[in-house]
Structure 1
Amino acid sequence: MTNALFLFDPAAEGVPVNADELHTGWTLTLPADVRRHALKSMRIGVGEELQLSDGRGLRLGAVVDDAEAGVVHVTSVGREPEPVTRLALVQALAKQGRDEEAVDASTQIGVDEVVPWQADRSIVKWKDGKADRKWAAVIDAATEQSRRAWRPVLAERVNSKGVVAICRRACVHGDVVVVLHQDANETWDGVEEAVRALSDRCLEDGRPRTVYVVVGPEGGISEDEVAAFKAAGALVCVLGRNILRAATAGPVALSLLSRALGRF
């Protein structure tokens, strides 16, 4: 069984961020929040193992020496490479927490970036300072739950013009934007073919590229938005015959893409 993982800030704890400077036997004191979660809530005791990560690829294995003081010693050190073909979720704000459900599941699946989208039909309004902290907390919890060494980047909130800009940049940089729309004619097979071709280009030249999955709110993406995204170079497709909720569509699409990219 994989040991529980906890995110922490190495710089704040005086830990070198360069894995080459770290070594087994290194002793450190867990941050207060990690101590509460790992040692109090989960009751990880002396002699038991856990993992620590900075969310940027660093993964430390550690054993608890002193549960009361929160002291552990490092037993393994590693740094995992970031995927060359990245997955991003552009998630429209949705009511009843369905947007956060989508972010939670997508993080567990392996998404690399999350972009909050204030769509034309989004009933929920983004509140700077409050909403971003809430989404960040969801991402942190899901990153730890899935034992990931890479925490998804939470981008700034965009409106529909911002999504158009993402589509245009994608055309310039060789990325792919996939818009999920129930009335589209393009099928998912064509999307996977385009994504596999993108992955092949990444492997050939080593240059990172991103696949964006755009998911609308409960009321769907408006026709004007769909037309603007398509004109800016996005692939507009239907995911399947069943119409999925705002909380489900993104994770399902990302699961299929992860499998196509060999990440599952």
Structure 2
Amino acid sequence: MKKIFIDAPLDTMITIPKDTTHHLLTVFRHKMEKPVLVGGSDGRTGVYQIQDVVDGEASAKLVGDIQDESVSEVEVVLVQGFLKADKLEWVLQKTTELNVHSVYAVPMKNCVVQYKMDKLPQKVQRWEKIMKEAAQQCGRSKLPEFTADITLADVLAREQANGSLLLVAYENEHSLTLKAALEQAESEDVIQRVVISIGPEGGLSNDELTQFEAADARVVTLGQTILRAETAAVGAVSMLQYALNMD
């Protein structure tokens, strides 16, 4: 059964916005007479039947029970230094498929591209659309959270306040592996939320590394080879999901 998301809580009758209706009926080639699985902004999921389409928007009726599909698992969060548009879009799409809980896209010193603040809202709209379509395609229970108008310092402060385990991948670290860092942390406390930070194409600056260390982030290696930023992001999220949520 096809899965879509709407930016509203679920009810007996719902409205599916134009872009989602178009994606469902035109891109997915979903037949109106077939039921569709809908995820709402309240984190719940229900089975709906489209009743009508007016001016591109579909009205749909609940035809089953609304379920809370939330699962108890360790939240994996990605902090990604801004990348070139195609690379960042690929990271957002693939980490959404890998069930990342949240993504922060942040400016860093060695970013190849720096997005202007007045143009960022337009970019964010596109990035959120890519993540939404990826979530629908892979049947996620809920959409990942996405934040782009934030600094690295603010991310670290927010995640420290959340009690998150902070990890940062660094190409010049050769001893502490991701696996070893998780084992260390698990021996100290119960892990509920893990943040993995990946630098941009130009790598982390010394000042940024100092910020991570000051926030008690554990500096880790992802292996013996130096990975492209986009490969490192997808690889690290995959490793964490396997280690933490594949029991």
Residues 195, 211 of structure 1: 8 Å contact kept: no
1:252 is aligned with what amino acid?
G
2:142 counterpart residue number: 150
Query: Hey, what's the Cα distance between the residues in 2 that align with 1:53 and 1:45?
Result: 19
Shift of 1:152: 1.1
Matched, 1:54 2:72: no
Shift of 1:159: 3.1
2:63 is aligned with what amino acid?
T
Equivalent runs, 1:14-163 vs 2, <5 Å: 15-16=10-11, 26=12, 28=14, 30-64=16-50, 70-76=58-64, 77-81=66-70, 83=72, 85-127=74-116, 128-163=120-155
Structure 1, unaligned stretches of length 5 or more? Answer: 17-25, 203-208
Equivalent runs, 1:238-249 vs 2, <5 Å: 238-249=221-232
User: CA 1:46–1:81 in structure 2 vs 1: closer, same or farther (change >3 Å)?
Assistant: closer
1:43 is aligned with what amino acid?
R
Query: Hey, what's the Cα distance between the residues in 1 that align with 2:85 and 2:127?
Result: 14
User: CA 1:32–1:232 in structure 2 vs 1: closer, same or farther (change >3 Å)?
Assistant: closer
Query: Hey, what's the Cα distance between the residues in 1 that align with 2:74 and 2:147?
Result: 18
Query: Hey, what's the Cα distance between the residues in 1 that align with 2:150 and 2:80?
Result: 10
Shift of 1:121: 0.3
- Say which of 1, 5, 8 aligns to 2:6: 8
Structure 2, unaligned stretches of length 5 or more? Answer: none
Matched, 1:228 2:211: yes
User: CA 1:247–1:152 in structure 2 vs 1: closer, same or farther (change >3 Å)?
Assistant: same
Residues 8, 42 of structure 2: 8 Å contact kept: no
Residues 89, 113 of structure 1: 8 Å contact kept: yes
2:79 is aligned with what amino acid?
V
Query: Hey, what's the Cα distance between the residues in 2 that align with 1:73 and 1:197?
Result: 49
1:4-45 deviation digits (Å, cap 9, x = unpaired):
21111335xxx43xxxxxxxxx45554333322222332222
Shift of 1:195: 5.3
Shift of 1:66: 5.3
2:179 counterpart residue number: 189
1:22 counterpart residue number: none
1:165 counterpart residue number: 157
Identity %: 25
1:138 is aligned with what amino acid?
I
Query: Hey, what's the Cα distance between the residues in 2 that align with 1:6 and 1:227?
Result: 42
* Secondary structure, counterpart of 1:129 in structure 2: helix
Residues 78, 197 of structure 2: 8 Å contact kept: yes
Q: Which segment drifts farther, 219-228 or 56-65?
A: 56-65
User: CA 1:196–1:250 in structure 2 vs 1: closer, same or farther (change >3 Å)?
Assistant: farther
Aligned length: 240
Matched, 1:262 2:245: yes
- Say which of 186, 189, 197 aligns to 1:214: 197
User: CA 1:7–1:106 in structure 2 vs 1: closer, same or farther (change >3 Å)?
Assistant: same
User: CA 1:94–1:32 in structure 2 vs 1: closer, same or farther (change >3 Å)?
Assistant: closer
For the aligned residue pairs, the C-alpha RMSD in angstroms reads 2.7
What's the TM-score once normalised by structure 1's chain length?
0.79
* Secondary structure, counterpart of 1:240 in structure 2: coil
User: CA 1:112–1:55 in structure 2 vs 1: closer, same or farther (change >3 Å)?
Assistant: farther
Residues 5, 145 of structure 1: 8 Å contact kept: yes
What's the TM-score once normalised by structure 2's chain length?
0.84
